[in-house]
Amino acid sequence: MAIHGSLIQQFNIINMRHCINCCIQLLPNDLHRQCFRCRGHNHNNQKCPVCKGESKIPFYVDSKQMNLLAVLEVRTDHHESWNGLFCLKKGKLYSLIFGLIIMTLVMASYILTGAKHGMLLIPSPFHYGAFTNNPNLMDNESVSDVKDHYQPWKINISYIKDYPSIKLIIETITSKIEFITRQRPDLEDLKKQEPHMFSVIPNKFLPKSKNPCWYEEYRGNITANPYTTNSYALYSKRFRTIFDYLRKVFWNHLYQYKDKHYRLRCLPHFYIIGQPKCGTTDLYDRLRLHPDVRFSAIKEPHWWTRKRFGIIRLRDGFHDRYPVEDYLDLFDLAAHQIQGVLQSDSTKEHARMNKIIIGEASASTMWDNNAWIFFYDNSTDGEPPFLIQDFIHAFQPNAKLIVMLRDPVERLYSDYLYFASANKSAEDFHEKVAESLQLFENCMLDYSLRACVYNNTLNNAMPVRLQVGLYVVYLLDWLTVFDKDQILVLRLEDHASNVKYTMHMVFQFLDLGPLSEKQEALITKSPASNTRRPEDRSLGPMLPTTKAILRDFYRPFNTKLAQVLFDDAFLWKKT
């Protein structure tokens, strides 16, 4: 039966071929009326798609000039395989293929030359370049590149022509800006989101320490390595040396009481929270030279913003979340010194060493809330229901925060030079700025300013990190949970021109004692940290058109920032 059915199917297919091959020379209206084979003895009206259309649907492609005529058969019988035939003369088929090839070559030549010389009529709005927004890279910054002066460079006229169209995009963005105060979440809601964190960190700390410290019972094996499972040590070889030292001295600092062992745990007294490429590395390097200041074992743990969510590199996806215990391990060295003070019998020694304060300097803390969308529900109109500062304030309502800012236009170019991996140039930077502005505009048409600033998809799509320079958006959100006198805002331009002045401001803000002339000279006269690389200096400044575009974009945000801080220096008019 199977063989017989196959023969019948082959016979029907041959019949259909005869029908189509014969009728291809005729006009559609004459099909199946003048065709000999269609009306021949082998013709089957029940099988012909035109003579009997109940089981098949004919689809015609035709023209009055008869340059191309074909019949495509589409079966509606789901029990058989689809059979479609395109029939036309070989000469016409070859002519069609040749024409398509020529047209493709012409279009390819147009696109390549047009893209090279900026002549495309419709530029691509979603061109992704070599820029990598890598959250695992340290958000390093530069001081000396603020002072850099370059010789004038040749200007590409095509980029000047882009200015009017880009200006329209900026005007649209500006018209949508609204600074709306966010609502603080309830403490109970925070506890529901991070129950383990709240079970580890107490709500009260030791009264005799300036830092938020407490004793925690150590339940581990006293002969085993207490840092074996620490995620910072597991995922980074360069941190293992630090943890090897901590392991060697760990047992000397356990406190025994009633047959139980206790360890001192501490959180930072102050945080340097931002921004990247604004001089936080230089501030960190100088401040850690102060005899009363201790920092985490790692300069930028990025725990609050990334590691506690399991983010090491966004391109690698999510890993296991770093527990809060791994973060607290980073302050063990400082905790050991503080513990020695707390257990000291000497009143003089106690008074001297009790001045120690602990700091942490992750430059992502102020702005990076990209992970919220993967972990927190109940968002309102695309805005994150919980921010980093909500959790820090829940544990440390008296924490002190330091922010270093710079002209956002120059910050963005420095950021591009540092993170871009290849093909860096002023022209490439201009293109990436234009693309990022268009993406930001698309978001602002549908969502609020806060929703776009904290939009993970948008932030990863933009070739350059425009959002990091929207300082006032982040600052206002921090001011919803912390008082203004708990946040010190500095300018990199002031720090670069007068290091001694800015460092004195920091010392006073942190209530640090006076220094000897030798100690102060060591802190204030050391060379600047993390200067711009020579290969990046050779690229010269950004194009004047690009600078004008960015000045227009950041202007309303700088104006609001100057109003909030009561300081017109944050308008950056002279830079």
Does a structural domain hold residue 428? yes
Nearest one of 559, 401, 553 to 472, comparing CA atoms? 559
Let me know: does 363 contact 276? Beta carbons within 8 Å: yes
Residue 396 and residue 461 share a domain: no
Structure confidence at residue 35 (pLDDT):
42
Confirm whether 252 is domain-assigned.
yes
Is residue 509 pLDDT above 80, yes or no? yes
163 contacts: CB under 8 Å, gap ≥ 6? 545, 548, 549
Q: Do residues 240 and 323 share a domain?
A: yes
Judgement on whether residues 271 and 178 belong to the same structural domain of the protein: no
- Listed ranges 232-236, 286-290, 308-312, 339-343; the one with the highest mean pLDDT: 286-290
**Of residues 405 and 150, more confidently modeled:** 405
400 plus 495 within the same structural domain: yes
Higher pLDDT, 221 or 111: 221
Same structural domain, 509 and 448: no
- The pTM score is 0.73
Closest CA to 569 of 502, 483, 508, 507: 502
Mean pLDDT of 315-323: 82
Do 521 and 414 fall within a single domain?
no
pLDDT of residue 345: 56
User: What is the predicted pLDDT for the residue at 28?
Assistant: 42
Q: Which two tokens stand for residue 468?
A: 């990091």
Whether residue 225 lies inside any domain: the answer is yes
- The mean per-residue pLDDT over the stretch 534-562 comes to 92
Tens digits of per-residue pLDDT, 217-252?
Answer: 998 887 889 999 999 988 877 788 889 999 999 988
Distance in angstroms (rounded) separating the CA atoms of residues 491 and 505: 12
- Is 6 among the domain residues? no
Judge whether 302 lies within some domain.
yes
Which tops the pLDDT comparison, 363 or 256? 363
Same domain, 394 and 412: no
pLDDT above 90: residue 289? yes
Mean pLDDT along residues 335-358: 74
Task: Check pLDDT > 50 for residue 349.
Answer: yes
State the Cα angle at 265 between 272 and 188, rounded to 5°: 75
Confidence of residue 421 (pLDDT cuts 50, 70, 90): confident
Rounded Cα–Cα distance for residues 392 and 304 (Å): 8
Three-state DSSP state, 420:
strand
* Distances from the Cα of 331 to the Cα of 211, 246, 336, 348, angstroms: 11, 10, 9, 25
Whether the per-residue pLDDT at 351 is higher than 60: the answer is no
* DSSP output for 480-529: TTS-GGGEEEEEHHHHHH-HHHHHHHHHHHTTPPP--HHHHHHHHSSPPS
Report how far residue 68's alpha carbon sits from residue 284's, in angstroms, rounded to the nearest whole number: 74
| Residue 512 confidence (pLDDT) above 90 | yes
- Most confident of the ranges 154-163, 343-352, 546-555: 546-555
What's phi and psi for 405, nearest 5 deg?
A: -120, 165
Summarize pLDDT for 7-40 with one digit per residue, the tens: 334 334 334 333 434 433 434 444 444 443 444 4
| Residue 73 pLDDT > 70 | no
pLDDT recorded at residue 156: 54
451 and 331 in a single domain? The answer is: no
Average the pLDDT over 149-176 and give the result: 71
- What mean pLDDT value characterizes the chain? 78
pLDDT at 359 over 70: yes
Closest CA to 386 of 481, 310, 471, 321: 481
Residue 72, in any domain of the structure:
no
- For the stretch 46-54, contacts whose Cβ atoms lie closer than 8 Å and that sit 24 or more positions apart, written own/partner, are 47/12, 47/15, 47/16, 48/15, 48/16, 48/19, 49/16, 49/73
Assess whether 299 and 263 both reside in one domain.
Answer: yes
Domain assignment present for 84: no
Q: d(Cα 414, Cα 285) in Å, to the nearest integer?
A: 20
Beta bridge partners of 62: none
Max mean pLDDT among 5-9, 82-86, 152-156, 491-495 falls in 491-495
Q: 295 pLDDT band (50/70/90 cuts)?
A: very high
Contact assessment for residue 264 and residue 339, using Cβ atoms and an 8 Å cutoff: yes
Rounded to an integer, the average pLDDT of 89-95 is 63
What string of DSSP letters covers 280-324? HHHHHHHHTTSTTEEE-SSS---TTTTGGGTBS-GGG-B-PPPPH
Average pLDDT over residues 262-270: 96
243 with 342, same domain: the answer is: yes
Range of the domain at 350: 187-405+485-529
Give the number of domains in the chain: 2
Residue 197 and residue 171 in one domain: no
For residue 414, pLDDT beyond 90: yes
Most confident of 4-13, 194-203, 350-359: 194-203
Task: Identify whether 89 is part of a domain.
Answer: no
For position 344, what pLDDT does the model report?
72
Q: What is the pLDDT of residue 186?
A: 95
Output the pLDDT for position 132.
37
Q: Is the pLDDT of residue 143 over 50?
A: no
At 419 the pLDDT is 85
Q: Measured between alpha carbons, how far is 424 from 145 in angstroms, rounded to an integer? A: 17
d(CA 450, CA 467) in angstroms, rounded, equals 10
pLDDT of residue 37: 40
Q: How many residues does the chain have?
A: 575
Residue 337 has pLDDT above 50, yes or no: yes
The residue ranking higher by pLDDT, 89 or 552, is 552
* pLDDT reading at 61 higher than 70: no
240 and 313 together in one domain: yes
- For residue 261, the SS3 value is strand
Q: What pLDDT is stored for residue 322 in this prediction?
A: 95
